[in-house]
Structure 1
Amino acid sequence: MSADAAEQPGTRERLRDSFDTRLLAPMMLGSVLNPINSSIIAVALVPIGLALRVSSGETAWLVSSLYLATAIGQPVVGRLVDVVGPRTLFLAGGALVGVGGLLGTFAQDLGTLVAARVLIGLGTCAGYPSAMYLIRSEAARTGRDSPATVLTLLTVSSQTVIVIGPTLGGLLIDLGGWRATFAVDVPLAVLVLVLGWRRVPPTRHPDGTRPALSLDVPGVALFSALLAALLVVLMLPSTSTAWLLLVVVAAGGGLVWWERRHDDPFIDVRVLAGNRPLVLTYLRQLLTGLTSYGVLYGLTQWFEEGRGLSPSATGLLLLPLSGAALVVSALTGRRPDVHLKLVVGAVFQLAGALSMLLLASDSPLWFLVVMIVVFGVPQGLLNLGNQNALYHQAEPSRTASSAGLLRTFLYLGAIGSSAAIAAFYTQDGGSAGVHALGWFLVVVSALNVALTVLDPSLRRVGVRGD
């Protein structure tokens, strides 16, 4: 028997005990569908407003509608992934993204574009919970924690796409107009369907059993009513919408009351009440989203309207954000200390927000580049840190739904940032608006710094190898 033949059984054994790398492509593609649709629209808002003759406040609905759909859909789909496995939901999500892309490509009015964004948002809900589920199931199959590199790849791919998205969007607009930013979803959806069908397993449950299919419909309905009413209040603040605050309070109170008594709740408030570190992680993710999406959409509009840059030039100006995020992620991704990452990231967000107060219509390009790089550092630290914290803090049986809820809080931050932009950019994205947005982000970033520094539980995450 040859030496090669003798080594084959050991080689096969090592492969069985290692992470299945064939899952990486669908995991990363599914996870970036939402970030690419979040970021690519940033440079298209002004061209869409000009083409459809609508204001900056009205085009903000293209941002908030996608995030409302995903904020509701992520934990719903995450819970279904926990129960039935990722494959069916992954494929259905890809199909919805394709339909939404086609609808947006041929839309003739803002209402149709909003509907297309809702479909795209719902379609992107399956990718991230499915990825987190597969990571947990691979750990159960191999009997060891999945490599830290896998979590890092998910975060880095999403961060890269978020920042490259505006550059890609600017190029697409130059080539085919703003409709091309919707058409790009069609080939992406086809790729999702192909990879999902060929590589995502039909079922992969960590404990080897398949729980009974159940969904807390009243809990989902109350959660949806809460978010929808809150969105309208934030986007259209006036005396005519003030009554919706009663809906927010009633739906929120009803959600807590119902979920505490339900045997299989949509959002297990009892677990959350007893898991303070996880709740704080969700709050940090909310504050992170408020700042990062406020920068992505607010600065992008100011670059075009306040500074007079073209969509393609604006996209190129955001590239240093991606470069800084990638460098930071590469240097820190394998380090287990989550606390330091979150503290440094929050401090850099605060520094970037303070620099927004100095912006003017004649601000030199070098200053804009430096500011973008400062904002790029937290891009490479905060989402990765919060994701790693959740992986250690969440119950294994609810990994996908907990991950979905983490994205929900990020999207709540995006909704809040779009509402702030709509409020501060009353007419256009001029310097007065960007300064008001800057002060808002200074307060938000300072809260994030305080919440991170004062959370002692973070010092233990990743240190003991839980």
Structure 2
Amino acid sequence: MSVQKNVSLVKNHYFLIAAIAFGIILNPLNTSMITVALPEIKNEFSLTSNDITWLIASYFIVCAMFLPLIGKLSDYYGRKKIFLFGLLLVSISSFAAPLSQNMPMLLGMRAIQAIGTSALYPAGMGIVRSYIEKNQNKVIGLLTVCATTSAAFGPTISGLLIQQGGWHVIFYINFPIIIISAVLAVFFIPQDKKGTTKTFKWDGIGIIIFSCLISLWIYFLQTLQSGLNVGALIGSLALTFLFYFFEKRKEEPFIDVVFLRKNPNISLVYIQYIFATIIFFAMLLSVPSYLQSELMLSPKLTGLIMLSLSVFSIISTPLTTHWIEKSGYKIPLFIGVIIGVVGVVLLMTINHSSPLYWIFIVLSIIGFSNGILNIGLQTLLYSFVSTAETGTASGLFLTSRFIGNILASSAFGIMFATGVNDTNLNWMTVILIVVSVILLSGILFITKRKVVKGTSEIEETANF
């Protein structure tokens, strides 16, 4: 079953777009809001930093598993149905998560929430592409900005809410968003129509292998603090090779490894995006815990300081878009990564006696760099991709972001396993400096590669 492609079925395009916008912000919002709540959750359930790592990483593992799967399900069963089902799952999890009496229950509710929010993006984008013809690229760009903005303001919103009612309140903020999205979706998204779309072949074994290898890699990274776990390392490598050889033989694989092998330029872009995501999300995880545990700041003040990281990322995005339109992606990417290296190095100057305005400035520099790299790498990606490959490339780009998030959460668990303090923050900074240098080297290398597509596609992407 699929959506009938008939623009005349839409009663009001603006309300349809609003329905999708409110839905897709739930994933990035819930991804970033919990970062400020981690110290309270850790204390209430008597958790270690490794336990907290699983609370974060499990969300991304579920998202990475279900995003491509639900995209196919929405094509087959109907995008409106899947969109509304996603909102229902988020509602259930948002109601039950604050009632959690232990860590396993909270993990379960977060997993349900991850499945629900994962349904909203692919289904919502499918609806837009089916019913919005005029200025479709601008609409997709607007939705992307909405998602980015919600992630950016998540820590600030969370800090303000936790100050008033504890960590439980961050789940209740979902309900006004869910209700608005659901009402608009029911009345303004056309009903799914039966179509002739072929039945997809579900790669269930590939999904299981992928989830197992990601989980085992996280376990291996977490145990590094107590020594090299040879068994976990061998198991992780074995599952990785098994996944590759299994997927390359699949007609409709969960992750198209053949596409990655045949397009090394694209694969390199994904790797750079993973590194850029590690830096940004490591900041989202580490700094709130540090500010509350070491500097003893309130959740409210912590959220306001974290606003620097997010707002400057938002500010740099449209500026970079205009810059890329004028001069291409090479110079903006190079400048962006240099700014990022400077920002990460300046993290070494932060300690328990640092003035808050200095922490604000350092985070602003890192946030500004992240905005440049985000739009720059997307532009670079589409310069290597043909129109027919856009869907596959976009899905893998999103998957690479989740891999970066998972690695950042693992690094957080390792570096702060013995407590949140100046020393461990410095060790985390050392890791991020290494990542920044690798990112700089990769950007210098990839921007010298020959572009397959013309500049028209670059300009089109930049206009998103």
Same fold (TM over 0.5): yes
Post-superposition offset of 1:388: 4.0
Post-superposition offset of 1:309: 1.2
Q: Confirm whether residue 213 of structure 1 aligns to residue 213 of structure 2.
A: no
Among 316, 326, 332, the residue aligned to 1:328: 316
One-letter code aligned to 1:423: I
Distance in 1, matches of 2:122 and 2:177, equals: 19
One-letter code aligned to 1:344: I
One-letter code aligned to 1:320: S
1:38-77 superposed matches below 5 A: 38-77=31-70
Among 277, 293, 302, the residue aligned to 1:314: 302
Aligned to 2:240: 252
Distance in 2, matches of 1:271 and 1:372, equals: 36
Q: Is the 8 A contact 2:66 2:115 kept in 1?
A: yes
Aligned to 1:230: 217
Post-superposition offset of 1:111: 1.6
Post-superposition offset of 1:338: 3.5
One-letter code aligned to 2:308: P
Distance in 1, matches of 2:26 and 2:147, equals: 9
Q: Confirm whether residue 380 of structure 1 aligns to residue 371 of structure 2.
A: yes
Q: Secondary structure at the match of 1:212?
A: coil
Distance in 1, matches of 2:119 and 2:450, equals: 28
Q: More deviation in 76-85 or 410-419?
A: 76-85
Change (3 A) 1:199 1:250: farther
Distance in 2, matches of 1:428 and 1:99, equals: 34
Aligned to 2:18: 25
Post-superposition offset of 1:313: 0.4
Q: Is the 8 A contact 2:63 2:402 kept in 1?
A: yes
Aligned to 2:413: 422
Distance in 2, matches of 1:462 and 1:197, equals: 41
Change (3 A) 1:352 1:15: farther
Backbone CA RMSD of aligned residues: 3.0
Change (3 A) 1:353 1:386: same
Change (3 A) 1:189 1:387: farther
Superimposed CA distance per residue, residues 359-394 of structure 1 (whole angstroms, 9 cap, x where no aligned partner) = 111101221111121012123222233334445655
Among 166, 169, 177, the residue aligned to 2:158: 169
Q: Is the 8 A contact 2:272 2:443 kept in 1?
A: yes
Q: Is the 8 A contact 1:132 1:400 kept in 2?
A: no
Q: Is the 8 A contact 1:137 1:204 kept in 2?
A: no
Distance in 1, matches of 2:31 and 2:167, equals: 14
Q: Secondary structure at the match of 1:41?
A: helix
Change (3 A) 1:408 1:363: same
Change (3 A) 1:268 1:323: closer
Q: Is the 8 A contact 2:292 2:302 kept in 1?
A: yes
Distance in 2, matches of 1:261 and 1:410, equals: 25
Among 164, 177, 181, the residue aligned to 2:170: 181
One-letter code aligned to 1:64: A
Q: Is the 8 A contact 2:152 2:314 kept in 1?
A: no
Aligned to 1:282: 270
Post-superposition offset of 1:20: 5.0
Distance in 2, matches of 1:234 and 1:228, equals: 10
Q: Is the 8 A contact 1:324 1:377 kept in 2?
A: yes
Superimposed CA distance per residue, residues 404-457 of structure 1 (whole angstroms, 9 cap, x where no aligned partner) = 332221111111111111111123211001100111111111211221221135
Change (3 A) 1:189 1:404: farther
Superimposed CA distance per residue, residues 122-153 of structure 1 (whole angstroms, 9 cap, x where no aligned partner) = 211123333544565568x56xx733x43442
Aligned to 1:107: 100
Post-superposition offset of 1:356: 0.9
Among 110, 129, 133, the residue aligned to 1:117: 110
1:261-410 superposed matches below 5 A: 261-334=249-322, 335-336=324-325, 337-391=328-382, 393=384, 399-400=390-391, 402-410=393-401
Post-superposition offset of 1:395: 6.1
Q: Is the 8 A contact 1:168 1:315 kept in 2?
A: yes
Q: More deviation in 240-249 or 229-238?
A: 240-249
Q: Confirm whether residue 452 of structure 1 aligns to residue 454 of structure 2.
A: no
One-letter code aligned to 1:49: K
Distance in 2, matches of 1:431 and 1:381, equals: 29
Q: Is the 8 A contact 1:29 1:127 kept in 2?
A: no
Aligned to 1:146: 136
Post-superposition offset of 1:236: 3.5
Distance in 1, matches of 2:279 and 2:193, equals: 36
Distance in 1, matches of 2:125 and 2:287, equals: 31
Name the count of aligned residue pairs.
445
Q: Is the 8 A contact 2:16 2:184 kept in 1?
A: no
TM-score, normalised to structure 2, is: 0.86
TM-score, normalised to structure 1, is: 0.86
Structure 1, gaps ≥5 residues long: 1-13
Q: More deviation in 192-201 or 393-402?
A: 393-402
